[in-house]
Amino acid sequence: MSCLVGCYVVDSACAMHAEQRIATDTERYARLEVAPRVYIGGFPYLSNYFRSETPSLSAEVLDITVPGFGLVNARTDVTDLTLTKEQLRTGHLESVPAKLLTRKLRLDGVAMGKFLGITDLDISNPYDISPSGGPASEVQLTGTPAGFSKPVTVIAALRITDTTITLTPRELRDVPPGQEDATREAFSWSIDSGLLPMPTRANRVYCQGGSIYFESEQRNIVIDASDLSPISIHD
């Protein structure tokens, strides 16, 4: 038993050392205010030394301000990385081949409310209000637009057409008579996905829990630590 405990401690220490180095490099190269939370897949960690590919690497940063865009939460997942033994030991990522990089941006009510100009915006899945509810292509929004005396609720569609992401009200609830057009205008929004802090244009937009997510993918790429952040080293 003591031998197993010792092996676990050593394995965890090696994983933490590599993860902390990746987090520190990402923070420095991408000029983040805080280091991301980094996790390297493959258990036990040292088994990665004997694999041709490390199954996964993830980095998550919360509540960061992206210049020219605003406040976001972001998660980057990399799948099937070809790491050298030196990179596994040190956590220094440079010219690492990987099969897939997925970037997810999450806008909560505060962040999305800034785009709409609604300070009390609440976001929810119109079909499943539980935090673990699955993704939906529609979103329920509740808030008080400028000029309104109380909150109103809309069900809006989230869509991607070519490179444009749109939020379009489909159903109005609790709207005072005569303010229907103003409500539709207040909750309508669009953005070119090229303006999002993502490596490629978004290929998916959805609501889950109390947030709106944007997602993009890159396949068969080469990465370093700066690719794990929504803020580019070149910004």
Residues 11, 81 share a domain: yes
Q: Chain centroid to CA 92: how far?
A: 23
**Predicted local distance difference test score (pLDDT) of residue 185:** 97
Question: Is residue 121 included in any domain, yes or no?
Answer: yes
Residues 101, 113 share a domain: no
Question: Is residue 214 included in any domain, yes or no?
Answer: no
Torsion sign, CA atoms 208, 186, 145, 155: negative
**Predicted local distance difference test score (pLDDT) of residue 33:** 79
Widest CA span of the chain, in angstroms? 74
Residues 94, 118 share a domain: no
**Predicted local distance difference test score (pLDDT) of residue 29:** 80
Question: Is residue 233 included in any domain, yes or no?
Answer: no
**CA–CA separation, 52 vs 102, rounded Å?**
21
Question: Is residue 235 included in any domain, yes or no?
Answer: no
Residues 126, 81 share a domain: no
**Predicted local distance difference test score (pLDDT) of residue 3:** 59
φ and ψ at 202, to 5 degrees? -65, 140
Residues 148, 99 share a domain: no
pLDDT in tens, the chain (235 residues): 555 555 667 788 899 999 999 999 998 887 787 889 999 998 888 898 898 999 999 999 988 888 778 888 999 999 999 999 999 999 999 999 999 999 999 999 999 999 999 999 999 988 766 655 667 899 999 999 999 999 999 999 999 998 899 999 999 998 999 999 999 999 999 999 888 888 888 999 999 988 999 999 999 999 999 899 887 544 4
Question: Is residue 32 included in any domain, yes or no?
Answer: yes
Of residues 227, 215, 216, the one with CA closest to residue 57? 227
Q: What is the pTM assigned to this prediction?
A: 0.88
Residues 144, 74 share a domain: no
- In what helix (H) or strand (E) does residue 9 lie, and over which residues does it extend? helix 2-29
**Predicted local distance difference test score (pLDDT) of residue 112:** 94
Of residues 226, 217, 181, 180, the one with CA closest to residue 59? 226
Question: Is residue 42 included in any domain, yes or no?
Answer: yes
In the three-class reduction of DSSP (H, G, I as helix; E, B as strand; rest coil), residue 119 is classed as: coil
Residues 69, 31 share a domain: yes
**CA–CA separation, 42 vs 47, rounded Å?**
7
Residues 142, 192 share a domain: yes
Q: Which domain holds residue 153?
A: 109-209
**Predicted local distance difference test score (pLDDT) of residue 6:** 59
**Predicted local distance difference test score (pLDDT) of residue 70:** 82
Question: Is residue 93 included in any domain, yes or no?
Answer: yes
CA dist 47 to 26, 54, 55, 107, 164, Å? 24, 9, 11, 36, 43
Residues 90, 24 share a domain: yes
**Predicted local distance difference test score (pLDDT) of residue 180:** 96
Amino acid symbol at 68: G
Residues 181, 115 share a domain: yes
Beta bridge partners of 211: 208
Q: In what order do the strands lie in the sheet with 189-192?
A: 122-124, 138-143, 152-161, 164-173, 189-192
**CA–CA separation, 8 vs 51, rounded Å?**
19
In the three-class reduction of DSSP (H, G, I as helix; E, B as strand; rest coil), residue 180 is classed as: helix
Asked if 73 and 103 touch (Cβ cutoff 8 Å), the reply is no
Residues 117, 57 share a domain: no
Question: Is residue 124 included in any domain, yes or no?
Answer: yes
Residues 96, 64 share a domain: yes
In the chain, how many domains are there?
2
